[in-house]
Structures are given as structure tokens and as C-alpha cells.
């Protein structure tokens, strides 16, 4: 009747269940037998990290908020070579869920990939907004794999991480591989590159690593099989005393690694997002697709 409001179900703010649907959709597109080791998981983890790892705590610039890697020149930064593959597969998800921001989509994809590949739960929450090309940070904020421990500390301290957190994060190199046409380096770190394990630490400590003789950039290979690799920045974790302490701990205790990795990766994905943008005060734990 006149003057009486009609109640319409609006649904303006997506709920945890809505994000779980996006998670499930990402989980459903991870596998592809024609791609690398059979999964887009590793390259999605790398996208999530590179979109976050530009953060600078002093100027509070960079980080996952604006998804500026959509634009040139950031898309063309050397460190981001190959990530168009990851952004491309996520476009199909974006078409089904156009309301999600790119920053939320890319970081959620990293979370989904880690969880679905057998890793720990990664607490995550939405709130990132799409920015513009002008929000991008200059080239050089991501690590250079050919360098040593000083460089590694400069880069990760700038994001607000300590030595223990650097080592915890480094365990993600259990996943995926290097591609000559992307970084110039070649090969996987572990024998199970699409399963999240603490093998990175075990192999780093227990295998004998020798410099590979080839025309490519300096990298190490395991003496026994010659099929695994370590980057110079991975190798320093077993040389530097402060780093090595944590490498040993994570090699011995998988639960400790999973716990610390979960906290640290969650923190990485939140870098650069202003507190007032989060839609929930505490991050959510999303279910695996088969739960």
C-alpha cells in the first residue's frame, strides 16, 4: 500500500560464502595437464607474492592493495616475467565474479593454491580496491635472485619482515620451477613441485649443492641427480648463521614450518592495505574445495 516500503533482497556486500565460491572456482581451474607440472598453483602463488612484495613500510607505498601489475610498466618489470599466465587464467574467474577486486582475486588465488596443494590454511580477508597505473611503484622492489644475504635483508626488512620470517617464506620455493624464458634460471627446487612440503629446507641442508656449468645465470644444482636447483638467494639461507638456524628448525619440524609460513604469508598478502578498508576485523579461514 501507499507509503509502505517494499523489502528487496539487495546483497550489496559480498559475504564469506561469496568469497568461498570464488575460492572454489579457482580450485577448479588449478589443474591443467598441459601446463608445467600439471598445475597453475605455483605461478598463482608467485603472482600473489609479487603483487604484495612491492611494499615499503617507510613510505607505505606498494603492496597488494591496488593490483597495479595490471598496467605497464609494472607488468613488464623483469621480476614479473611470466606472470601474465597467472593473470590470464584468473580472468576467467573474474568474468564469473566481476564484483571481486583484482587485489583480492590475486591474493585469494595464492591462498587457494597453497591450501589445495597440501599446504597450511592461510588466513585471508577481502578489502583491496582496484587502483590506477599511477599507484604503481618503481622497478627494483622485488628481490634479485643472483644476490646475497645483504640484498635479501634489505628487500624483506623494507617490507617489515625479520630473519625468521624471511626463512619461513622461503619454504614456498618447494613449489614450482624456474623458466629460462622468464627469469633465465632453470628447473624445480624439489621432486614434488605441486605439493606444499618442507622439502625445500631438507634438500637445502642435506644435498650437496654445486654450481651448474652452463651459459645461463649462476645457479646451483644437486650433485646427486643434477635435476634440482637452488638460486643464489636460496643458497645463502644455508650459509648465513642467523638464517641457517631457522632452516634447520623448519627441516626438522614440518608443523612449525606450516604454522610460521601460514602467519607470514598471510601478513605478506595484507601489506599496503589501509586498516579501514578491511571488511572484517579478523581474517577468515576458507575451506578447501574437498572439505
189 is catalytic: yes
**Residue from 46, 70, 125, 128 that binds ligand HIF (CB under 6 A)?**
46
49 is catalytic: no
- CA 36, chain centre distance (Å): 18
- State how far the alpha carbon of 150 is from the alpha carbons of 144, 155, 240, 244, 253, in Å: 11, 9, 10, 15, 27
**Alpha-helix runs per DSSP H in the chain:** 16-29, 41-52, 83-96, 102-116, 149-159, 163-170, 199-206, 232-235, 241-252, 254-270
Shortest Å, Cβ 105 to ligand HIF? 17
Binding map of ligand HIF across residues 154-183, x = CB under 6 A, - = no contact = ---------------xx-xx-xxxxx--xx
Q: 210 pairs with which residues across the strands?
A: 221
Q: Return the SS3 of 39.
A: strand
Q: 284 pairs with which residues across the strands?
A: 124
Report the C-alpha gap between 136 and 131 in whole angstroms.
9
Instruction: Establish if 45 lies at the interface with ligand HIF (CB under 6 A).
Output: yes
Name which of residues 238 to 267 contact ligand HIF (CB under 6 A).
Answer: none
Shortest Å, Cβ 183 to ligand HIF? 3
Name which of residues 70 to 109 contact ligand HIF (CB under 6 A).
Answer: 82
Candidate segments 4-12, 43-51, 54-62, 270-278, binder of ligand HIF by CB under 6 A: 43-51
| Residues with active-site annotation | 50, 189
Q: Which residues bind ligand HIF (CB under 6 A)?
A: 42-43, 45-46, 49, 82, 143, 145, 152, 169-170, 172-173, 175-179, 182-183, 185, 231, 233
Amino acid at each position: 500500500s501507499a507509503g509502505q516500503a517494499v523489502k528487496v533482497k539487495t546483497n550489496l556486500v559480498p559475504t564469506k560464502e561469496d568469497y568461498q565460491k570464488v575460492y572454489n572456482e579457482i580450485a577448479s581451474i588449478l589443474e591443467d595437464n598441459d601446463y608445467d607440472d600439471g598445475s597453475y598453483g605455483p605461478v598463482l602463488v608467485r603472482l600473489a607474492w609479487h603483487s604484495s612484495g612491492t611494499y615499503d613500510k617507510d613510505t607505505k607505498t606498494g603492496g597488494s592493495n591496488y593490483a597495479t601489475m595490471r598496467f605497464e610498466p609494472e607488468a613488464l618489470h623483469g621480476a614479473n616475467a611470466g606472470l601474465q599466465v597467472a593473470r590470464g587464467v584468473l580472468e576467467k574467474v573474474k568474468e564469473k565474479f566481476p564484483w571481486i577486486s583484482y587485489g583480492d582475486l590475486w591474493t585469494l588465488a595464492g591462498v587457494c593454491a597453497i591450501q589445495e596443494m597440501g599446504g597450511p590454511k592461510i588466513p585471508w580477508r577481502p578489502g583491496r580496491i582496484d587502483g590506477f597505473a599511477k599507484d604503481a611503484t618503481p622497478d627494483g622492489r622485488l628481490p634479485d635472485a643472483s644476490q646475497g644475504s645483504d640484498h635479501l635483508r634489505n628487500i624483506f626488512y623494507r617490507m617489515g619482515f625479520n630473519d625468521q620470517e624471511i626463512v619461513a617464506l622461503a619454504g614456498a620455493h618447494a613449489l614450482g620451477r624456474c623458466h629460462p624464458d622468464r627469469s633465465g634460471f632453470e628447473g624445480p627446487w624439489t621432486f614434488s613441485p605441486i605439493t606444499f612440503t618442507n622439502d625445500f629446507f631438507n634438500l637445502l641442508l642435506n644435498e650437496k649443492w654445486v654450481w651448474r656449468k652452463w651459459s645461463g645465470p649462476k645457479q646451483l644444482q644437486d650433485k646427486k641427480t643434477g635435476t634440482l636447483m637452488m638460486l643464489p638467494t636460496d643458497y645463502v639461507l644455508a650459509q648465513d648463521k642467523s638464517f641457517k638456524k631457522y632452516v634447520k628448525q623448519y627441516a626438522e619440524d614440518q608443523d612449525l614450518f606450516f604454522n610460521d609460513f601460514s602467519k607470514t604469508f598471510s601478513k605478506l598478502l595484507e601489506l599496503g592495505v589501509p586498516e579501514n578498508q578491511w571488511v572484517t576485523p579478523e581474517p577468515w579461514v576458507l575451506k578447501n574445495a574437498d572439505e
